[in-house]
Amino acid sequence: MPTVPDPQVTPLRAPTIKDVAERAGVGFKTVSRVLNDEPNVRPETRDKVLDAVAALGYRRNSIASSIRRRDQRTSSIGLIVDDLANPFFGSLTRVVQEYAQARDHLVLIGSSDGSPERESELVGEFGARRVDGLIIVPNGDDQSYLEPERARGVPVVFVDRPGARIEADSVVSENADGVAAAVRHLAAAGHTRIAYLGDYETIYTFTERLRGFRTAMAEIGGADPRHIRTGLHTSAAAHEAVLDIFGAAPRPTALIASNNRITVGAVHALQHLGLRDRTAFIAFDDVELADLLRPALTVIAQDTTAIGTEAARSLFERLRDPAAPYRGARVPVRLVPRSSGEITPPESSL
Amino acid sequence: MPTVPDPQVTPLRAPTIKDVAERAGVGFKTVSRVLNDEPNVRPETRDKVLDAVAALGYRRNSIASSIRRRDQRTSSIGLIVDDLANPFFGSLTRVVQEYAQARDHLVLIGSSDGSPERESELVGEFGARRVDGLIIVPNGDDQSYLEPERARGVPVVFVDRPGARIEADSVVSENADGVAAAVRHLAAAGHTRIAYLGDYETIYTFTERLRGFRTAMAEIGGADPRHIRTGLHTSAAAHEAVLDIFGAAPRPTALIASNNRITVGAVHALQHLGLRDRTAFIAFDDVELADLLRPALTVIAQDTTAIGTEAARSLFERLRDPAAPYRGARVPVRLVPRSSGEITPPESSL
DNA sequence: TTGTATGCGTTATCAC
DNA sequence: GTGATAACGCATACAA
């Protein structure tokens, strides 16, 4: 019985520069020269090499190349976000990837799902792949696990929230300003009883947004503690909170939701209560069909393009100049009036 | 004057297993054994090594390790989608990444933006990184550029649309069935004049959706050619098309939009015409706040989780068994009645 | 239980 | 111009 070669034992091998060299009838260093556009190769020889490359379907092994290369660069960066399915992080990823691609860098992606452990594990994986830099949406309050990267000179940029216990560049939105602007927008229309729905207070962005709320409310006599709910991490929780707040007196005339999960629950609840057309509503984060709602949704929109671009720009700049001072960029948010935020308080409440 | 060491000339070097070995006072092979959980290391020695690893902030260089490894595996896969900012591809990416992460694989990501050239370039980059497999949302009608990967035994899975000129597994939605179901849903409520808005006919998904429309319309006497528009690639174009179609007699009583960009333009146009509450409307692809619209949006929802999981599953299965026959998976879509699709035709039109 | 020699595919150095 | 040869950081085979 003839022996059949087991594909597991003799695995398919990719052609190497040596294979190319042999086929082209040159030394393998010459192939390397051609592939790296180095000088001192006769056009004639060059063509022979290129022909062999095409014939063999050769693809450079850039992992082998980066191990030997002087600068140890891999032309890749790592990006860690909370959840890719969240449109905010989706478009952030999009922008970063585009920026990197334009500079011939590849992007390794990971989702932390809010877990500091997973975040640190991913950094380990990326570090093992020797990424040239990292862009991270940090969780928890300790990013000191990045020490090996810092020591190796791998730059890190924190985005959406600042990192802790390690020096690095960061890019965040003007969260507090945004909510404060929303409050002032409502106050200008005559609202004083403004409710606020927040997510976990442990997360930087929500701490900041709540701070903006309190600051601006202080200007019109302070917020009613009964109208502030935090720790709402699902739309169901937000739904409950709205039923609760609006079921008791004094009923607020306006409502601010601090993210899109909360927005969904809150609008549903207002609808359920028949208050959707009578309660002013402003949401943090823009959503796809906001202007098709009735009333169309007034939002505080983050500039995801600017955030992503700035993060990527910071990273590549530091790759060029590791000695520059660290920068903490703050990206403005924008209040987009569409209708829901321009509903005036009922006469009776004045 | 003392010479300052130029960081460019003496770059920061990551610690290697030799550094670890020296510090631990053992041979470097022993370090390798510890790091790879190989047997035959005294617990005592093991601890010494681990201490040195921690002290030096050592991170394995897995790119160096994969080049020498017998199976040549890099524990990474490449994913190429159209546009990460599109929620459909965002959640697809999310699912794939999650599946890969659970199997200790990293995901390299790229956006083709519908360009076949960029798609092929990205494959080249991924190939150079020696990814273990590829998941691709293909563009154009020729994926034969994947030949080097096929020859090397790197599996490819096409998702959302089938690839051409190369054999591979694929995972697509039941596009035609979905639109046909929408037509029948509308027909059951008494509609016969149903309009259809399509994107470029060159893209597989839209060819299929249009086919489903024609098939089901044939069952109720055929579609009116004046009520079919294709090649609509922006919401503005969709807006125009609706104004056009609904501005002339006979006016349709129902409308199907073949993707979310078109949906936005179409709903705006219906609103503009004051027909939003009187025209039945079904959209392909679910959107975030669909149920907050009034009327709430009836949609044909793709099961992005199932699509992504199936694609990832196919890839990892083939990684295990390269000899299995190729499979073309079809994932069912689901008609989600919410309101807009249940509007009945006006009496006068019967 | 531990260490040495060798090789992976590439880039760097230097001689021809 | 071109090609030997060394080196990168690690895994493999095999010796001790």
Q: For residue B67, is it within any domain? A: no
What pLDDT score was predicted for residue A70? 83
Contact residues, chain B, for A97 at CB < 8 Å: 84, 109-111
Helix (H) or strand (E) holding B212: helix B204-218
Residue B339 and residue B219 in one domain = yes
Q: For residue A236, give the 3-state DSSP assignment.
A: helix
Place of tokens 């609202």: A191
pLDDT attached to residue B303: 98
Q: What is the DSSP letter of A227?
A: G
> Do A94 and B107 make contact, defined as CB atoms within 8 angstroms?
no
User: The domain spanning residue A153 has which CATH number?
Assistant: 3.40.50.2300
Residues B136 and B248 in one domain: no
Residue B27, domain member (yes or no): yes
CB contact under 8 A, B111 and A91: no
Contact B151/A at CB under 8 A:
yes
The reply to whether B63 touches chain A by the CB within 8 Å rule is: yes
The DSSP secondary structure of A245-312, one letter per residue, reads HHHSSSPPSEEEESSHHHHHHHHHHHHHHT-TTTSEEEEES--TTGGGSSSPPEEEE--HHHHHHHHH
Q: Contact, B48 vs B104, CB < 8 A?
A: no
Residue B11 pLDDT > 70: no
Q: Which nucleotides of C are covered by protein (CB under 7 A)?
A: 1-5, 7-13
User: Cα(B233)–Cα(B258) distance, rounded to whole angstroms?
Assistant: 11
Of chain B, the percentage scoring pLDDT greater than 70 comes to: 96
Contact B260 A322 (CB under 8 A): no
Mean pLDDT of B167-190: 98
CA of A202 to C1' of C9 (A): 49
Q: Do B277 and B190 reside in the same domain of the chain? A: yes
Q: In a mutagenesis test of the A interface, which of B106, B144, B277 is the best target, namely the one with the most A β-carbons within 10 Å? A: B106
Residues of chain A with pLDDT under 70: 1-11, 348-350
Q: Do B168 and B313 reside in the same domain of the chain?
A: yes
For residue B10, what pLDDT is reported? 41
Decide if A107 is inside a domain.
Answer: yes
Residues of B within 8 A of A264 (CB-CB) are 288-289, 292
> Min CA distance, A55 vs chain B (Å)?
10
Query: B146-184 in b/e burial notation, b at 16+ Cβ within 10 A?
Result: bebbbebbbbbbbbbbebeebebbbbbbbbbbbbbbbbe
- Alpha-carbon distances of A241 from A179, A197, B235, rounded to whole Å: 19, 8, 36
**CA–CA gap between residue A340 and residue B292 (Å, rounded):** 13
Statement: the CB of B70 is under 7 Å from strand C: no
Specify the pLDDT at position B174: 98
CA distance B215 to chain A (A): 31
Please count the residues of chain A. Answer: 350
- Judge if A163 and A29 occupy the same domain: no
Strand C lies under 7 A from the Cβ of residue A60: yes
**Domain with B189 in it:** 175-302+335-349
B276-310 confidence digits (pLDDT tens)? 999 999 999 998 889 999 999 999 999 999 999 99
**pLDDT value at position B6?**
37
A48 in Cβ contact with A24 (< 8 Å)? yes
What share of chain B has pLDDT > 90, as a percent? Answer: 92
Instruction: Decide: CB of B339 under 7 A of nucleic strand C.
Output: no
Domain boundary (A27, A60, A93) is at A60
- Please report the DSSP string for A136-188 in residue order: E---TT--GGGHHHHHHT--EEEESS--SSS--EEEEE-HHHHHHHHHHHHHH
Cβ atoms within 10 Å of B192's Cβ, excluding its own: 18
In a domain, A124, yes or no: yes
- Closest residue by Cα to the C1' atom of nucleotide C7? B68
- Asked if A11 lies within 8 A of B127 by C-beta distance, the reply is no
- Determine contact: B148 vs chain A, CB below 8 A: yes
Which tokens in the block code for residue A228?
């502030």
> How far does the CA of residue B108 sit from the closest CA of chain A (Å)?
5
Domain contains A106: yes
How does pLDDT run across B212-233, given as a tens digit for each residue? 999 999 999 999 999 999 999 9
Q: Does the CB of B349 fall within 7 Å of any strand D atom?
A: no
User: Which chain A residues 28-47 have CB under 7 A to strand D?
Assistant: 28-30, 33, 39-42, 44-45
* A94: nearest CB among B85, B147, B260: B85
Is residue A80 classed as helix, strand or coil in its secondary structure? strand
Cβ within 8 Å, pair B110-A129 = no
Interchain proximity A289–B294, CB inside 8 Å: no
What per-residue confidence (pLDDT) applies to A72? Answer: 84
Res B348: pLDDT: 61
For residue B39, the model assigns a pLDDT of: 87
Contacting residues of A for B36, CB less than 8 Å apart: none
Please indicate, yes or no, if residue A8 is contained in any of the structural domains: no
**B135, containing H or E segment:** strand B133-136
Number of domains chain B is built from = 3
Q: Cα separation of B35 and B124, whole Å?
A: 32
CATH number at residue A38: 1.10.260.40
Tell if A35 CB is < 7 Å from nucleic strand C: yes
Contact of A105 with A77, CB cutoff 8 Å: yes
Handedness of CA A155, A158, A163, A168 (dihedral sign): positive
Q: Does residue B11 form part of some domain?
A: no
Q: Which of A4, A8, A106 to mutate to test the interface with B (most CBs of B within 10 A)?
A: A106
Residues B298, B179 share a domain: yes
The reported pLDDT for the residue numbered A9 is 35
* CB proximity A70–strand D (7 Å threshold): no
Closest CA of chain B from A247, distance in Å: 21
Instruction: Pick A12's closest partner by Cβ from B98, B125, B153.
Output: B153
Q: Is B274 on the interface with A (CB under 8 A)?
A: no
Q: Indicate whether B230 and B284 sit together in one domain.
A: yes
Residue located via tokens 């003392």: B2
- On whether residue A11 sits in a domain, the answer given is no
Confidence of residue B7 (pLDDT cuts 50, 70, 90): very low
Burial of A113 (0-12, 13-18, 19+ CB in 10 A): middle
Query: Does B248 contact A at CB distance below 8 Å?
Result: no
**Furthest-apart CA atoms within chain A: distance in Å:** 97
Report the SS3 class of residue B282. Answer: strand
CB contact under 8 A, B63 and A74: yes
Best to test chain B binding among A35, A61, A94 (most B CBs inside 10 Å): A94
Judgement on whether residues A229 and A156 belong to the same structural domain of the protein: no
- For the segment B41-69, what is each residue's pLDDT rounded down to a tens digit? 999 999 999 999 999 999 999 999 999 88
Which residues of chain B neighbour A323 with C-beta distances below 8 Å? 7
Distance C12 C1' – B128 CA (angstroms): 21
**A287 and A201 co-located in one domain:** yes
| Burial class, A125, CB count within 10 angstroms (exposed 0-12 / middle 13-18 / buried 19+) | buried
Q: Is B231 on the interface with A (CB under 8 A)?
A: no
Count how many Cα atoms sit within 13 Å of the Cα of residue B162 in the half-sphere of its side chain: 16
Task: Tell me: do B197 and B342 sit in the same domain.
Answer: yes
Query: How many contacts (CB atoms, under 8 Å) link A and B?
Result: 185
What pLDDT is attached to residue A4?
33
Asked if A275 and A179 sit in the same domain, the reply is: yes
Taking an 8 Å cut-off on Cβ atoms, the answer to whether A110 and B109 are in contact is no
Asked whether residue A63, judged by its CB, lies under 7 Å from any atom of the DNA or RNA strand C, the reply is no
- CB–CB of B276/B218 below 8 Å? no
CA A175 to chain B, closest CA, distance in angstroms equals: 22
Question: Is residue B191 located within the same domain as residue B241?
Answer: yes
| CB contacts, 8 Å: A91 with chain B | 84-85
Q: What is the pLDDT of residue A108?
A: 97
Question: Is strand D less than 7 A from the beta carbon of B195?
Answer: no
Q: Tell me, yes or no, if B76 comes closer than 8 A to chain A by beta carbon.
A: yes
pLDDT of residue A348: 61
- DSSP assignment of B303-343 equals -HHHHHHHHHHHHHHHHH-TTSPP-EEEE--EEE--SGGGP
Question: What DSSP designation does A4 have?
Answer: P
